[in-house]
Amino acid sequence: MKHSYYSLPLRLGRVIKKKELARCSLEDSISDHIHLMITSHFNENKHDEKFGNSIWENEFGNISENHAIREEINRSVLRCINRYEPRLEQVRVNIRWLQEETGGGGIKQLSKRLDITITGTITVNRKPFSHEEQCYIAPLSYK
């Protein structure tokens, strides 16, 4: 069966060369779209200022694990998926907030990592769907 969905990111240079764009499965297309939603902030899309989520409002803030912030991010991601991904239903979002030390060369960074799990049901075939994503926010550098 030939895949019906285009893979992201689109390689438009291939169109100019009159070549086929890469295609993917329904599940991969939904995952690509969710990744795009998670990595977009509000007002980034000039045609729809509501596309995106509130993760990036806290990107460089001096924030610690806060239940209220985590719940707001959870609601924001869920609203975005429910609004912009009609191929999924019964969507659930689970966010784990972790602190991780990264870096090298004598410079350490203390980063907040969000582990985001999205589950739901694909509307056309009733199959279960799951997508996992990690986002690093609020870097703090030190020696």
DSSP 75: H
Nearest to 71 by CA among 60, 55, 47: 55
Q: Supply the pTM of this predicted model.
A: 0.81
How far is 50 from 68, CA to CA, in rounded Å?
21
Tens place of pLDDT for every residue, the chain, 143 residues?
466 898 888 888 888 898 988 899 999 999 999 999 998 888 888 888 888 888 777 654 555 556 788 888 899 999 999 999 999 999 999 999 888 777 767 777 777 888 999 999 999 999 999 999 998 776 654 44
List of residues 6+ apart from 72 with CB closer than 8 A: 54
Helix, strand, coil percent content, the chain, rounded in steps of 5: 30, 40, 35
